[in-house]
Amino acid sequence: MAADNTMEISSILQGGYQHPLSRSWQARRHLTKSMLMYPIFITDDPDASVDIPSLPGQSRWGVNRLDEFLGPLVKKGLTSVILFGVPLNCVKDERGTPADDPTGPVILAVRKLRALFPELYIACDVCLCEYTSHGHCGLFAADADTPGTLDQGPSAARIAEVALAYARAGAHCVAPSDMMDGRIRAIKRAFIDAGFANRCTLMSYAAKFASALYGPFRDAAGSAPAFGNRKCYQLPPQAKGLARRAIQRDVAEGADIIMVKPALPYLDVIQDAAQLAPDHPLACYQVSGEYAMVVAGARAGVYDLRVMAFETVESMVRAGCTLILTYFTPQFLDWLSE
Ligand SMILES: NCc1[nH]cc(CCC(=O)O)c1CC(=O)O
Ligand SMILES: [Zn+2]
Ligand SMILES: [Zn+2]
Domains: count for the chain: 1
Query: Residues 98-157: pLDDT tens digits?
Result: 999 999 999 999 999 999 999 999 999 999 999 999 999 999 988 777 767 889 999 999
Cross-strand pairs, 60 = 41, 50
Domain that holds residue 59: 30-335
Q: What's the gap in Å between 308 CA and the centre of ligand 3?
A: 26
Q: Is residue 271 part of a domain?
A: yes
Q: For residues 338 and 330, what is the distance between their CA atoms, to the nearest angstrom?
A: 13
Q: Which of 223, 260, 312, 325 to mutate to test the pocket of ligand 1 (most atoms within 8 A of CB)?
A: 223
Q: Answer whether 144's CB lies under 8 Å from 113's CB.
A: no
* Domain assignment present for 311: yes
Q: What is the pLDDT of residue 4?
A: 61
Measured in Å, residue 142 CA sits from the centre of ligand 1 at 25
Kindly state whether residue 15 falls inside one of the protein's structural domains.
no
Q: Is residue 17 part of a domain?
A: no
Q: What is the pLDDT of residues 187-233, one digit of tens each?
A: 999 999 999 999 999 999 999 999 999 999 998 888 888 888 888 89
On whether residue 253 sits in a domain, the answer given is yes
Q: Which residue has a Cα nearest atom 13 of ligand 1?
A: 214
> What's the gap in Å between 227 CA and the centre of ligand 2?
14
Q: Is residue 11 part of a domain?
A: no
Amino acid identity of residue 180, one-letter, is M
Q: Which ligand is nearest to the CA of 208?
A: 1
| Ligand 1 atom closest to 130 (CA) | 2
Residue 25 confidence class, pLDDT cut points 50, 70, 90: confident
Has residue 63 been placed in a domain?
A: yes
- Give the distance (Å) from ligand 2 centre to CA of residue 10: 53
Q: So which residues are the catalytic ones?
A: 208, 261
What pLDDT was estimated at residue 16?
Answer: 81
Q: Atom 14, ligand 1: which residue's CA is nearest? A: 214
**At 170, which CATH number?**
3.20.20.70
For residue 275, is pLDDT > 90?
A: yes
CB 116 within 8 A of CB 139: no
In the predicted model, is pLDDT for residue 318 greater than 70? yes
User: For residue range 58-92, what is the model confidence (pLDDT) as tens digits?
Assistant: 999 999 999 999 999 999 999 999 999 999 999 99
Q: Other CB atoms closer than 10 Å to residue 142's CB: what's the count?
A: 8
Q: How large a percentage of the chain has pLDDT more than 90?
A: 84
Q: How confident is the model at residue 3 (pLDDT cuts 50, 70, 90)?
A: low
For 113, 182, 315, 318, the CA distances from 322, given in Å and listed in that order, are 24, 25, 12, 10
pTM of structure: 0.95
Q: Tell me how far CA of residue 274 lies from CA of 259, 313, 335, in angstroms.
A: 10, 16, 27
Is residue 46 in some structural domain? yes
Residues with CB under 6 A from ligand 1: 125, 127, 129, 137, 177-178, 214, 217-218, 223, 230, 287-288
- Give the model's confidence band at 17: pLDDT under 50 very low, under 70 low, under 90 confident, else very high: confident
